[in-house]
Amino acid sequence: MKNTSCPMAQPHGHPPSRPRGENGEPLMSRVPFARKMIAFSLATALLPSVGNVGAAPAKPADDGVPAAAPADAPLPVIDPASLPVDVRKVTLGKLTNTNVFKLRTTEGRAVINFGLRADELVTKATLRLRYSYSPALIASQSHLKVVLNDEVIKTLPITKEDAGKPLVQDVELDPRFITSSNNLTLVFVGHYANECEDPLHTSLWADVSGSSELQLTVRPVVLKSDLATLPEPFFDGRDNARLRLSYVFAAKPSYETLRAAGITSSWFGKLARWRGARFPAHLDTAPKGHAVVFATNTERPGFLSRLEPFTAPGISVITNPGDGFSKLLLISGRDGNDLKTAATSLVLGNAAVSGTHVAVKQSREEAPRKAYDAPNWVRLDRPMKFGELIEYQQQLQVFGHVPDPIRIDLRMPPDLFTWKSRGIPVDLKYRYTPPIRASESRMSMGINEELVQAVNLRSAGQNDGFIRVPLPLLDGGMLGEQKDMLIPPFKLGSRNQLQYAFSFTYHKEGACRDTQVENVRAMVDSDSTIDFSGFPHYAEMPNLGYFSTAGFPFTKYADLAQTAVVMPENAGAQDIEVMLTLLGRMGESTGYPATRLTVTGPKDEGALKDKDLLLIGTAPGQGLLAKWGEKLPAIISGPNRRISQPERSVNFLYDWLGFGTRPNPDVATQEHIQGDGPLAALLGFESPLSSGRSVVAVTAVESRDLTRVLDVLENDGIARSMHGSATFVRGDKAESVLAGDTYTIGTLPFWTVIWYPITQRPILMMALMLAALVASVFGFWKLLKLLTTRRPKGEE
């Protein structure tokens, strides 16, 4: 499994650091200044002649390729000056998930990585820097450098007049220095004394605010139509922004077409990962920008009406007639089954495609996925090595006396039952530069920013009782150790992050003795392991928190083989956008496309049995909402709303006695309300068609309000706070409640089945303990009485 970080933690939302080499420098192309100038000039000069070079050729005899149509016909040569210019602003803090860049020591630095899409050209770039620095610095010997891709762009002086003040400085970045992968480095050179200077003195500081902005003016580049570049330009991994990719359908797409679209959106969601993804739907229109289009012989958007009939499943790239320069990814076929074949071939075999069109002659699906085997989730059948949880080896290495923690992301099924467990075992192996004094240097392990355990680092030659297995002294003067640790199970969620923080002290002996501060390093070995095997699966449902953070229970099977999406009879653009975006979130969670998904309507109850159901739509179009009204914790039907309230959400006495807060979900009251304001809801309940199966419904007062649910799910803080059986969305706020019937999924061992329900009811447990005590006393009394009656006469 590879690191996919988290929004939760990077969880759902922050880009991982770019890979670095052995010297700690980012791995990227270093193009000399002259070559970049030439490349920039050539790109500008040749851009007008590129035009639309991706037009598909006329159809061969029997390959399924449609004949050329106006949408795919050669377009006039495009003047670059006529292309739309986009001015984009992004804060440095958003690029790195850092509020303040703290530059310390005599040469502190911060590296900010950002990328440039292959279909964009930067014409202007500006860095608005917000910073302040120490009043103790010597102005003539201190400064702040701005470096872009190893080229010094500007040196900002340090002056006594501005010391300690918040400053704002605009720095123009030469666009010729900007490549596909870039690092912007802020270097602080500071000195407070002319001699006998301590490089870690507290006077040596400069802070750069995370609100500092990078502003890029970009112009699109007209690309050649070529499937070999997939997933570009529809998804570009160098773009740190949220993926927003339009989907285009005929006026009334069939359920089979929506199934093919769901397969591709889950794939794009998997690719987008921590960026997140949104998939607006368009019916019978060609939007501007890159988009994915679905067309069959009987069901296609109007702008593709002149295409000849398809004879086989196909994948094509054509020019978008909506703007004349962006691209459309066309998934085509004779019918809906052909679309599924083409979509599955795209998401599982795109490495073999090239040219403007491929026809899928034969497609063989992979074997069905097993439960809980999602590539992005931890292995449950054996211990998992840290090397399987990261993207590149440099993630496990740090440099300096107080470096940033080593971070390792973990995703696990929400129903993993760890009750009464001692903890999750971790066999940790780590190496480090031996400190001079062991008692003041340590390594701390945390989970989700909470401390788990801290151990002292020993100096060379030291051996104390805390070290279980000392490893030999390694090359470069690094010392290796191994230690067993346990992660408390109650600290774990579905998305987690392990943090290993090293801190080294230094000692300066004598007033003018040199002190080395950057020659200290540490690393966690990639063959360290964490073991989640042996735990049963069990959960009390409904719990919308499982759905909002992991797409569970649908993601139990990574290919969604046991999931059915129930769409309204006449699905609108908002219904489709909700479906595609939610499937994209599930693909991001599992790391696998939804190749075995079922999409159907509310009348096909035969297809809904023995499946977990995702209901999308508003009443009355989504007929199951009215039919299953008694099962729902809430009903929203136009202006009419029925809201259930639980018997007890939080009981103060129950919690004060130390028994924990256990709500009572039994419905105490129901409020019937009429209103005309916007309201959306996420509802969870047991399927009326199959016991133990789950239903999650996305509904709203009107169809245009459905996407409000997507808005709150994109907010990591709100998504993590969701729980219970109903979440009501009003504006940018969400309120959750647990009301109505509950049920369980999974199985437990025999003795756990007996004891777990008892421990969840403290009064019953106390009554049973008292009864056991009385029975024991009574039995002991009966035994003594029996022994007394059998004692021989005259014996004392």
| CA dihedral over 183, 125, 237, 494, signed as positive or negative | positive
Q: What is the mean pLDDT of the chain?
A: 82
Quick one: pLDDT at residue 435? Answer: 79
Tell me what pLDDT residue 18 has.
41
Local confidence band at 525 (pLDDT 50, 70, 90 cut-offs): very high
Q: What is the largest CA-CA distance in the chain?
A: 124
Residue 667 pLDDT more than 60? no
With a cut of 50, say whether residue 760 has pLDDT above it: yes
Contact 450, 465 (CB under 8 A): no
Confidence of residue 446 (pLDDT cuts 50, 70, 90): very high
> For 187-206, how does the pLDDT look when each residue is reduced to its tens digit (9 = 90+)?
999 999 888 888 888 899 99
Which pLDDT score, from 0 to 100, does residue 641 have? 63
The mean-pLDDT minimum among 36-40, 133-137, 552-556 falls in: 36-40
Average pLDDT in the 121-144 region? 94
Counting runs of H as helices and runs of E as strands, what totals does the chain give?
12, 41
β-pair partners for 490? none
Report the pLDDT value the prediction gives residue 795, as an integer from 0 to 100: 54
Q: Which residues fall within 8 angstroms of residue 307, CB to CB, at 6 or more apart?
A: 66, 67, 69, 71, 295, 300
Looking at mean pLDDT, say which of 38-47, 114-123, 241-250, 747-756 comes out highest: 241-250
CB 543 within 8 A of CB 724: yes
Report yes or no: 315 and 331 within 8 Å, Cβ to Cβ.
Answer: yes
Residues in the chain: 796
The answer, yes or no, to whether residue 620 has pLDDT greater than 60, is yes
Identify the pLDDT of residue 350.
Answer: 73
Using the 8-state DSSP alphabet, how is residue 59 labeled?
A: P
* pLDDT given for residue 198 in this prediction: 81
d(CA 724, CA 739): 7
pLDDT of residue 781: 82
Q: What is the pLDDT of residue 60?
A: 37
Answer whether 33-79+252-359 and 86-220 agree in fold: no
pLDDT at 732 over 60: yes
Nearest CA to 388 out of 413, 408, 412, 374 is that of 408
Distances (CA, A) of 263 to 50, 272, 346, 580, 619: 33, 15, 9, 9, 26
Q: Please tell me which residue, 774 or 509, carries the higher pLDDT value.
A: 774
Nearest CA to 19 out of 529, 376, 396, 405 is that of 396
Provide the pLDDT for residue 72.
45
Phi, psi of 88 (to 5 degrees): -120, 130
Mean pLDDT, residues 32-54 taken together: 36
Distance CA 532, CA 578 (A): 34
What's the CATH code, domain 384-530?
2.60.120.260
Question: Which pLDDT belongs to residue 468?
Answer: 41
Quick: pLDDT tens for 460-476. 655 554 444 444 444 45
Query: For residue 49, what pLDDT is reported?
Result: 32
Q: Which of 150-159, 553-562, 610-619, 633-642 has the lowest mean pLDDT?
A: 633-642
Six-digit token string for 223: 């690309």
Select the CATH number that applies to the domain covering 33-79+252-359 from these four: 3.40.50, 3.30.379, 3.90.105, 1.10.3470: 3.30.379
User: How many CB atoms are closer than 10 A to CB 755?
Assistant: 15
For position 247, what pLDDT does the model report? Answer: 98
pLDDT band at residue 759 using 50, 70 and 90 as cut-offs: low
Please state, in angstroms and rounded to a whole number, the distance separating the CA atoms of residues 369 and 119. Answer: 36
The answer to whether the pTM exceeds 0.85 is: no
> DSSP characters for 78-121?
PPGGGSPPEEEEEEHHHHHT-SEEEEESTEEEEEEEEE--TTEE
Residue with tokens 């991994």: 237
Q: CB within 8 A of 739, min separation 6: which ones?
A: 633, 644, 645, 646, 665, 667, 724, 725, 726
Q: How confident is the model at residue 20 (pLDDT cuts 50, 70, 90)?
A: very low
Find, among 706, 750, 749, 748, the residue nearest to 729 by Cα.
706
For residue 620, say if its preceding peptide bond is cis, omega within 30 degrees of 0: yes
Instruction: Over range 444-465, report the average pLDDT.
Output: 80
Is residue 156 scored above 60 in pLDDT? yes
The pLDDT, as a whole number, for residue 309 is 93
Percent of the chain at pLDDT > 90 equals 53
Tell me the angle at which helices 762-789 and 750-759 cross, rounded to the nearest 10 degrees.
110
End-to-end distance of the chain based on CA atoms, in angstroms?
76
Check pLDDT > 50 for residue 71. no
Residue for token pair 């500081």: 205
Smallest CA-to-CA distance from 327 within 236, 225, 218, 228 is with 225
100 has pLDDT over 50 = yes
Residue 585 is encoded by which pair of tokens?
């979130």
* Residues forming beta bridges with residue 371, ordered by sequence position: 557
**How is residue 302 annotated by DSSP?**
G
The pLDDT confidence band at residue 789, using thresholds 50, 70 and 90, is confident
pLDDT beyond 50 at 53: no
| More confident of the two residues 745 and 46 | 745
Q: What is the pLDDT of residue 599?
A: 97
Model confidence at 477: pLDDT above 70: no
CA angle 224, 229, 230 (to 5 degrees): 125
Encode pLDDT of 346-391 as tens digits. 999 876 788 999 999 877 777 899 999 999 999 999 999 999 999 8
The CATH superfamily assigned to 86-220 is Galactose-binding domain-like (2.60.120.260)
Specify the range with the lowest mean pLDDT, choosing from 93-107, 406-420, 749-763. 749-763
Residue 439 pLDDT level (bands cut at 50, 70, 90) = low
Give the pLDDT of residue 664: 56
**Cα–Cα distances in Å, from 407 out to 398, 413, 447, 452?**
11, 20, 10, 14
Lowest mean pLDDT among 61-75, 124-138, 757-771: 61-75
Mean pLDDT score, 211-218: 94
Average pLDDT over residues 292-321: 94
* Average pLDDT of the residues in 413-439: 86
Distance CA 386, CA 388 (A): 5
Q: Greater confidence, 88 or 511?
A: 88
Residue of 107, 126, 127 whose CA lies nearest to 206 = 107
Pairwise CA distance, residues 417 & 498, whole Å:
20
The stretches of 671-742 forming alpha helices (DSSP H) are 707-713, 716-721
Please indicate whether residue 429 or residue 788 has the higher confidence score (pLDDT): 429
Sketch the domain layout of the chain as residue ranges: 33-79+252-359, 86-220, 384-530, 538-746, 761-789
Mean predicted confidence (pLDDT) in 41-64: 36
